[in-house]
Amino acid sequence: MLNPYRFFDPEPDVRKIAFELYTSVKDLPIVCPHGHVDPKLLAENRPFPDPAELIIIPDHYIFRMLYSQGISMESLGVPTRDGTAVATDHRQIWRLFAEHFYLFAGTPTGIWLAHELAEVFGITEKPGADNADKLYDQLQEKLASPAFLPRALFERFNIEVLTTTDGAADSLEYHHKIRQSGWRGKVLPCFRPDAAIDLLRPDWKQEIAALGKASGVDIHDFNSFIEAIEVRRTFFKKMGATSTDQGIVSPYTHQLSRAKADALFQRGLKGQATADDAALFTANMLMEMARMSVEDGLVMQVHPGSFRNHNRIVFERFGLDKGADIPLQTEYTKNLHELLNKFGNDPRLTLIVFTLDESTYSRELAPLAGHYPALRLGPPWWFHDSIEGMTRFRERVTETAGIYNTVGFNDDTRAFPSIPARHDLSRRIDANYLARLVARHIIDEADARRMIRALAYDLVRGAYKLS
Amino acid sequence: MLNPYRFFDPEPDVRKIAFELYTSVKDLPIVCPHGHVDPKLLAENRPFPDPAELIIIPDHYIFRMLYSQGISMESLGVPTRDGTAVATDHRQIWRLFAEHFYLFAGTPTGIWLAHELAEVFGITEKPGADNADKLYDQLQEKLASPAFLPRALFERFNIEVLTTTDGAADSLEYHHKIRQSGWRGKVLPCFRPDAAIDLLRPDWKQEIAALGKASGVDIHDFNSFIEAIEVRRTFFKKMGATSTDQGIVSPYTHQLSRAKADALFQRGLKGQATADDAALFTANMLMEMARMSVEDGLVMQVHPGSFRNHNRIVFERFGLDKGADIPLQTEYTKNLHELLNKFGNDPRLTLIVFTLDESTYSRELAPLAGHYPALRLGPPWWFHDSIEGMTRFRERVTETAGIYNTVGFNDDTRAFPSIPARHDLSRRIDANYLARLVARHIIDEADARRMIRALAYDLVRGAYKLS
Amino acid sequence: MLNPYRFFDPEPDVRKIAFELYTSVKDLPIVCPHGHVDPKLLAENRPFPDPAELIIIPDHYIFRMLYSQGISMESLGVPTRDGTAVATDHRQIWRLFAEHFYLFAGTPTGIWLAHELAEVFGITEKPGADNADKLYDQLQEKLASPAFLPRALFERFNIEVLTTTDGAADSLEYHHKIRQSGWRGKVLPCFRPDAAIDLLRPDWKQEIAALGKASGVDIHDFNSFIEAIEVRRTFFKKMGATSTDQGIVSPYTHQLSRAKADALFQRGLKGQATADDAALFTANMLMEMARMSVEDGLVMQVHPGSFRNHNRIVFERFGLDKGADIPLQTEYTKNLHELLNKFGNDPRLTLIVFTLDESTYSRELAPLAGHYPALRLGPPWWFHDSIEGMTRFRERVTETAGIYNTVGFNDDTRAFPSIPARHDLSRRIDANYLARLVARHIIDEADARRMIRALAYDLVRGAYKLS
């Protein structure tokens, strides 16, 4: 059973206030402005196949921990791209997971799973070797029923809007299908052109070709590349998008002349771009994307500081997003200087910055966000989307930037059924943070009530233009 | 009303002990060894003009937050240097502030303001749209009375000594006036030669000329420059100064030969100094200033790690100190190596180092201060002068350096009427920190009583030679 | 008297749970997989000479704090290598320490000393000027009795195994003596070849000569150097070693060809190695040591990020390990990339990484350890082996890496009688950390019981192959 006071401080005053604050927002609709749910799921609305396929195989949060403790990804059924055979007995995969569920004690993954099992599936036992089969059967049975179809869950989860993440050349076919289906769930795309911007990607030229095709622009130089990006942004916007996203190594920003940018682009086309070329090209594209956002009003998101695919063996066998993206130290004060000087005072821009480097919260990001009108801070990201991580974020950011320069919560998930668990955790932790302020007479209860609503609902709708 | 237990942990044991510790020091005199109050205020002792002029217009802590939320600085009456018109209706400025007071919930600015309004002005209502005019009138009435003149407040605040910050060429005219006035308030200058040291400042040559004039030294080379600095230090010391201060980007220290230093100086005079020249000149001047401190006994303060005037648009219109100075990652172990090797074992030197980079507290600064006899750690600075910031400082520094290698509190403020609020907050947070140690049996109550007095009063007087 | 609930949170629920968890492990044997106790102590089993020799003179944790407050190391009897006379009246040294014991309030050193005095020597008074002589006499009397001989203490402390740290050329003479003595205490060596790896050490060539002699290998090039290292590892393993250790400035790893490595080695032999040569040589030796660990199964430890002997004056007079080693910012994601790519997926390797840079806990180390099967995180090291330091470690690491990618506790001490104090503190802090999780319903009590046993006993035995 999930304890109703879970995650709140045990001190009775804090717990009582936190519970009241949480209660005031727990039934507000869920707003998901950034995530990785596949729109196909909601377009086709087919049943989830089985517990392993639902919970284990697609979720790198889960299999990276098991892998770190010596359990092979093949034995967990994670699909390979080099043809290596993997386990296909999904019940056996579930057993392996259940036997090692104790590894997740104290982690957000453990918390999300407990919530998902209990609240979505009515299972309140902790998975283990002894009950693995029973739980598998219970889950299997639920998944086969209409109440557990994706759209039914979307409605039951009370999701007001769900934003996906889509490549620049994406046809948005499944978004079309959802719109045409007559179903009223609001699912929006987000424009993420990373594959077209990173000159070093092995598939960059294919992506440019795809982008040309999708946009109807003959891309042969930087100007036509920019035109194609603009065409696609317009299309995404027409399809309901309110935001863009970019994942980059460094948030370095620097405006190049069109001629210099084109020289880099041409080297990319010839396969001659160096690492420096690619970094400079990205720095300039951040400037271009900010300019476009000023013009078309799409909210700009930037996610820097991840060393992608750190483990080559895992990457070569299993591909992207396998739990081997590792954070890097990141610098914002100097790197964002040029972009913020050019666009940071412009009321037409909303720039939402994320980080994997918590040392920048109080040192760089809160001071920047507490000054520049265009800048807002994204919620704690990835490894930091956790009880301690979210608490550290509020404690280090609020005193300098307040809460109104932050943008509420992002679940950032590809695990659709974990969405309520993630938002519930966030609402509880923000409530607990505010309760600690009330109990210490830093804010009063009226402040706290306004603030918990802002953190749970108002800020995200405002910042992402979703209201 | 201000709750008497505010800012203490809600846990009853901690709260009780914290309250007792705080009570034991709350009425001790206030020692202000570092700040930015204009000595003219106390020399002339004129009434503060109105609430907006007192609280909003000069305080970048306040208008940067409002600016970050889209309120223009012009509408807040912040004076421009480019002739742009700004709001002049101070009642209207006050209203704008009061309507947005909720933005400061959870920030130290909000806490200081609440304390200042209540304790200095007897106003216990939270500012808002509905009571803005009433509060304006109440404040205006108080400001007109003799009890609210600067010197009356200085005495009511129980300030034992107030140190200002003054340029190397400053005549200290207002310090003279205060001394000659017969008033017994102790106001001391602090020697801050930044404008004469930074070769890249646009006004550096004027500053050198002013320094030459003030010192009576014909400054034509590095030796005469150093002589002028020494003359001025002697003058400041005669005027009561016990300390110097330097604001620098990096704490890099490196001794140059006089010939090499002179080559840099000459390039500066010709307007040919590069960024590297300026950095090296500063590195050498830190060595020279340490040498002079060994000789004349002035306590040396160093404040590194701020990217000044990050927002050029704001800088060009409004000038310095407008809330757009943003911290930078800072390195101390290597950068201070040369200075500490030359002077760090010398009992004649007190070097007080500050930081805006909290990641250095436990990694670099506490280990250095827990070893070198000359080194002391300044209190948490600027963005970190807050409940969580001060708590993090103690938690990360004390276990390695103890409390006796720290120097009590600096209010660092230009907002004179906020001084009691800032010291009260600091005393409460230190009391709460110590109470947590007592409640966990890490220290006993006798330790705690000695330590709270040290933190509130004894350490600052000792470190800054103010006793 | 030591309070039985010391170091636990005062909140009653947390305190109660923490006490129960701690009670369940407090009598488990002590496992010391990494430390600096001199094996001679246990080989010869002679009485400790006197309180100053036992507690003050050899312990840089103690005299660095006294030195930072202006007490000379000569007056504390710290032996010099330049012939400078030092205090020899050990009773007087003890008095000086006792008078300044208040400096350690709130530090782990103060906590360890209180525990050591009370639990090992039955002294429950806080040292001070007034009782210094009495305590000296009491300690002196105890030290003279057989119950306080090193082996008697080893047994009383319930030490299951104690690992020392030994140079690559060490004869392990005292380990031989312990084995031959018939005493059943388990004391193991650890292979630490730093002196042979750092090309810049003034005594590097002597170390190579000693290594050649110890190994019986004629070391004239890189291949024979590696052979000698391998011979010595085999010898250490035969003598019971289960682990190696390396102290390095940066954890940069990079494989060189044997020819390139030999070129660096030859430059070292000619005294021509540059700083870059030395760094590259070390980077390659980390790869070689990992390869050897894969082959011989010795657990590999890496301790990066200390600027050794920062204070030249202290180093020249007093030598190594005098409290003047200062941490440096450290990078792991890029630096360990090559090693982890080559060996990080190999189940035969256990790589235990430590840090002095807490900003890497959540940013780099936990994400790496939560993915790579070979990687485990060492406990908080040196300055961070403290109440707040250990708490920060768990709070920043567990949510991403769990507890099972960490390795329990290292006391890392050369102060033999402080061993129980250090392990007791660690067990208490881990119990308190887990109790906070239980009280917030993040884990349940069954989880917590398994986890506290893992943290206190099971993980260290497993990770270091000591079971």
pLDDT in tens, B145-157: 999 999 999 999 9
Element (H, E) at B32: strand B30-32
Say what the pLDDT of residue B168 is: 98
| Percent above pLDDT 70 for chain B | 100
State the Cα–Cα distance between residues B50 and B32, nearest whole angstrom: 25
A275/chain C closest Cα distance in angstroms: 15
Q: Which long-range contacts link C204-213 to residues 24+ away (Cβ below 8 Å)?
A: C204/C268, C205/C268, C205/C269, C205/C271, C207/C167, C207/C168, C207/C169, C208/C269, C210/C169, C211/C168, C211/C169, C213/C169
Rounded mean pLDDT, C47-56: 96
Q: Is C434 helix (H, G, I), strand (E, B) or coil?
A: helix
Q: Would an 8 Å CB–CB cutoff place A13 in contact with chain C?
A: no
Compute CA distances C460 → B106, C31, C279, C347, C409, whole Å.
43, 7, 31, 17, 7
- At B375 the pLDDT is 98
In chain B, which residues have their Cβ closer than 8 Å to the Cβ of A11? 9-11
Chains that touch A (3 or more CB pairs under 8 A): B, C
- For residues B419-438, give the mean pLDDT: 98
Cross-sheet strand order for the sheet of B187-188? B30-32, B159-163, B187-188
**Helix H or strand E encompassing B388:** helix B387-401
Chains with 3 or more CB pairs closer than 8 angstroms to B? A, C
By residue count, chain C amounts to 467
pLDDT digits (tens, 9 = 90+) for B225-243: 999 999 999 999 999 999 9
**How far is B284 from A74, CA to CA, in rounded Å?**
60
Looking at the DSSP bridge assignments, the partners of residue B166 are B191
Q: Using one digit for the tens of pLDDT, what is the confidence trace for B113-142?
A: 999 999 999 999 999 999 999 999 999 999
pLDDT, tens only, B284-323: 999 999 999 999 999 999 999 999 999 999 999 999 999 9
- Window 408-467 of B: residues touching C by CB (8 A cutoff) are 436-437, 439-444, 447, 450-451
Q: What is the pLDDT of residues A164-177, one digit of tens each?
A: 999 999 999 999 99
Q: How far is CA A355 from CA B305, C62, C89, in A?
A: 21, 39, 57
**What is the percent of chain C where pLDDT is above 70?**
100
pLDDT of C366 strictly over 90: yes
**C219 token code pair:** 């070391």
Q: What is the pLDDT of residue C1?
A: 78
Of the candidates C303, C285, C300, which has an alpha carbon nearest to the alpha carbon of residue C349? C300
Beta bridge partners of C377: C353, C406
Tokens of C368: 């790496």
> Is there a contact between B326 and A364 if contact means CB atoms under 8 Å apart?
yes
- Give the pLDDT band of residue B109 (cuts 50, 70, 90): very high
Three-class secondary structure of residue C244 per DSSP: strand
Nearest to A435 by CA among A149, A128, A24: A24
Tens digit of pLDDT for each residue in A209-267?
999 999 999 999 999 999 999 999 999 999 999 999 999 999 999 999 999 999 999 99
Distance CA A242, CA A461 (A): 11
Sheet holding A166-167: strands in order across?
A: A166-167, A191-192, A243-248, A299-304, A351-353, A375-377
In angstroms, the CA A44 to CA A416 distance is 14
Within 8 A of A363 by CB-CB distance, chain B residues are 327-329, 356-359
CA–CA separation, A251 and A82 (whole Å):
33
Q: Where are the domains of chain B?
A: 12-47+149-463, 48-148
pLDDT at B22 over 90: yes
Domain C48-148 class in CATH: mainly alpha
pLDDT at position B1, please? 78
Q: Among A270, A291, A299, A267, which Cα is nearest to A280's?
A: A267
Mean pLDDT estimate for chain C:
97
Which H or E element spans position C247? strand C243-248
pLDDT tens by residue, C226-253? 999 999 999 999 999 999 999 999 999 9
Q: Can you tell me which residue has the tokens 């000359």?
A: B374
Residue B270 confidence (pLDDT):
97
Q: DSSP of C293-341, one letter per residue?
A: HHHH-PEEEEEE-EETT--HHHHHHH-S-SS--EE-----TTTTHHHHH
Please determine, for residue C338, whether its predicted confidence score (pLDDT) is greater than 90: yes
Q: How many CB atoms are located within 10 Å of the residue B205 CB?
A: 14
Instruction: Write out pLDDT tens, residues B333-349.
Output: 999 999 999 999 999 99
pLDDT for B277-292, tens place per residue?
999 999 999 999 999 9
Return the pLDDT at A357. Answer: 98
What's the mean pLDDT when you consider all of chain A? 97
> What is the mean pLDDT of the segment spanning C144-164?
98
Alpha carbon of B451: minimum distance to chain C alpha carbons (Å): 9
β B243-248/A159-163 pair status: unpaired
Residue A258 Cα, gap to closest chain B Cα (Å): 24
Mean pLDDT of chain B: 97
Q: Mutate which of A9, A109, A388 to test chain C, going by most C C-beta atoms within 10 A?
A: A388
Q: Mind listing the pLDDT tens digit for each residue in C129-149?
A: 999 999 999 999 999 999 999
- pLDDT for C208 equals 98
Over residues B431-446, the mean pLDDT reads 98
User: N- to C-terminal Cα distance for chain A?
Assistant: 35
Distance in angstroms (rounded) separating the CA atoms of residues C315 and C60 = 13
Bridge partners of B217? Answer: none
- What's the pLDDT at C290? 98
Which residue from C minimizes the CA distance to B336? C310
Q: Tell me the C-alpha distance between C406 and C430, whole Å.
A: 12
Q: How far is B2 from chain A (nearest CA, A)?
A: 8
C322's tokens = 């005098």
Are the CB atoms for C344 and C369 separated by under 8 Å? no
Gap between the Cα atoms of B398 and C65, Å rounded: 11
What value does the mean pLDDT take over residues B167-173? 98
Enter the tokens of residue C434.
């887990």
Say what the pLDDT of residue A32 is.
98
How many C-beta atoms lie closer than 10 Å to residue A328's C-beta?
A: 19
- In 3D space, the residue among A425, A438, A380 whose CA is nearest the CA of residue B106 turns out to be A438
CA angle C223, C227, C229 (to 5 degrees): 120
Per-residue CA distances from C75 to C69, C78, C303, C325 (Å): 13, 8, 32, 21
Number of Cβ within 10 Å of residue A129's Cβ equals 12
Distance CA B350, CA C69 (A): 11
pLDDT tens for A262-283 read: 999 999 999 999 999 999 999 9
Which residues in chain A are contacts of C330 at CB distance < 8 A? none
ipTM: 0.98
The residues in A 341-370 lying below 8 A from B, measured between CB atoms, are 341, 344-345, 347, 359, 362-364, 366-370
Q: What is the mean pLDDT of residues A2-24?
A: 98
Residues of chain A contacting residue C440, judged by C-beta atoms under 8 Å apart:
6-10, 387
For domain B12-47+149-463, give the CATH number.
Answer: 3.20.20.140
Nearest to C440 among A8, A67, A386 (CB): A8
Asked if residue B381 lies in contact with residue B412, where contact means CB atoms within 8 angstroms, the answer is: yes
Q: What is the pLDDT of residue B62?
A: 96
Angle between helices C222-238 and C204-215 (to 10 degrees): 60
Distance from CA of B173 to the nearest CA of C (A): 38
Whether B405 and C68 lie within 8 Å, measured CB to CB: yes
- Pick the residue of C334, C343, C363, C438 with the most A CBs within 10 A to test the interface with A by mutation: C363
Give which of A42, A461, A10, A419 is closest to A242, Cα–Cα.
Answer: A461
Residue of A nearest to B359 (CA): A359
Q: Could you report the per-residue pLDDT of A396-449, keeping only the tens digit for each?
A: 999 999 999 999 999 999 999 999 999 999 999 999 999 999 999 999 999 999
List Cβ<8 Å contacts ≥24 apart for A126-133. Answer: A126/A101, A126/C444, A127/A97, A127/A98, A127/A101, A128/A98, A128/A99, A128/A101, A128/A102, A129/A95, A129/A98, A129/A99, A131/A98, A132/A94, A132/A95, A132/A97, A132/A98, A132/A99, A133/A91, A133/A95
3-state helix, strand, coil in chain B (%, to 5): 55, 10, 40
* Three-class HEC string of chain A: CCCCCCCCCCCHHHHHHHHHHHHHHCCCCEEECCCCCCHHHHHHCCCCCCHHHHHHCCCHHHHHHHHHCCCCCHHHCCCCCCCCCCCCCHHHHHHHHHHCHHHHCCCHHHHHHHHHHHHHCCCCCCCCCCCHHHHHHHHHHHHCCHHHCHHHHHHHCCEEEEECCEECCCCCHHHHHHHHCCCCCCEECCEECHHHHCCCCCCHHHHHHHHHHHHCCCCCCHHHHHHHHHHHHHHHHHCCCCEEEEEECCCCCCCCCHHHHHHHHHHHHCCCCCHHHHHHHHHHHHHHHHHHHHHHCCEEEEEECEECCCCHHHHHHHCCCCCCCEECCCCCCCCCHHHHHHHCCCCCCCEEECCCCCCHHHHHHHHHHCCCCCEEECCCCHHHCCHHHHHHHHHHHHHHHCCCCECCCCCCCCCHHHHHHHHHHHHHHHHHHHHHHHHCCCCCHHHHHHHHHHHHHHHHHHHCCCC
What's the gap between Cα A52 and its chain centre? 22
Stretch C411-428: mean pLDDT: 97
pLDDT digits (tens, 9 = 90+) for A98-116: 999 999 999 999 999 999 9
Residue-wise burial string across C262-301, b where 16 or more C-beta atoms lie within 10 A, e elsewhere: bbbbebbbeeebeeebbbbbbbbbbbbbbbbbbeeebbbb
What is the arithmetic mean of pLDDT over B383-400? 98
The mean per-residue pLDDT over the stretch C305-327 comes to 96
Residues in a beta bridge with A191: A166, A244
Residue A1 pLDDT: 78
Residue C114 · residue C126 · CB < 8 Å: yes
